[in-house]
Amino acid sequence: MPRTPSANEELRERSRRCILDAALVVFAERGYAGATISRIASRAEVARGLVTYYFSTKDELLETLLSEALQVMYGAVAPLEGERTADERLAGLIDRTLQGAAASVDVQRLLLSLMLQPTTRATYAKAEQANLAALEAAEDGIRAIFAERGAADPGAEEATLRSVLEGVIFKLAVYPDTYPLAAVRARLFRMYDLPVADPAPPRPAERLRTSSP
């Protein structure tokens, strides 16, 4: 019995996702130079031709992974239902950022290496530029939170918070087993006079998978 168009589309998306998950692992393990289409196909357990059917080059694969990671990062600013006050939105933003980083250490390591390596910095910048609207929306959202909280300079507060969170993500990526994430979270909450409560679980859509099935 022939498959329906929706079933074919689901199968294609599953294959594409499998390739992306495998590519993430290979890039994380071998770096940009050591990652090849053949290795990615082997890790995904698919034919090499299927990889190039969905992604014509290694750069295209990498740009797609970067765009996904950046969208997840910027999406952490979007408030959940029930986060109405500025304090609730700020607490949710901090929690989603920290939880997302803890759930995707391999992704964070890959992002850091791409930002720092001269051979891949341009690819990272290209992905960032492609997601510029999402970045600007995230920045505006953080500034709006601080403006509502009465900050004298919401822009400076936004830059400070992002710098702190990016530093936490960096240290967590380097020392995932020993970094005192809970203590740092509590310190951030105290710094912004937020009530320290148990963090809510992250939204499933914000979990970027880090290994192939």
Tell me how many domains the chain contains.
Answer: 1
DSSP alpha helix (H) spans, 48-85? 48-54, 58-75
C-alpha dist (Å) from residue 166 to 2, 12, 79: 49, 35, 19
Domain CATH number, residue 131: 1.10.357
For residue 1, what pLDDT is reported? 58
Considering the domain boundaries, does residue 26 fall inside one? no
- Could you tell me if residue 14 is inside a domain? no
Q: Would residue 1 count as lying in a domain? A: no
Integer-rounded Cα radius of gyration of the chain: 19
Residue 55 within a domain: no
Measured CA angle at 143 (ends 141, 147), to 5 deg: 115
Domain contains 21: no
Q: Name the DSSP class of 56.
A: S
Sequential pLDDT tens for the chain (213 residues)? 566 877 778 888 999 999 999 998 888 788 888 889 999 999 999 999 999 999 999 889 988 888 888 888 888 888 888 899 999 999 999 999 999 889 888 888 877 877 777 777 788 788 888 889 988 999 999 999 999 999 999 999 999 999 999 999 999 988 988 999 999 999 999 999 998 776 655 444 343 343 333
In a domain, 35, yes or no: no
Tell me which residue range forms the domain holding 69: 61-206
pLDDT at 212: 36
pLDDT value of residue 33: 84
pLDDT at residue 199, as a whole number: 62
138 occurs within a structural domain: yes
| Widest pairwise Cα distance in the chain | 66
CA–CA separation, 185 and 142 (whole Å): 18
Distance CA 24, CA 22 (A): 5
The C-alpha atoms of residue 97 and residue 74 are separated, in whole angstroms, by 9
Cα–Cα distance measured from residue 60 to residue 54, given in angstroms and rounded to the nearest whole number: 9
In a domain, 33, yes or no: no
pTM over 0.85: no
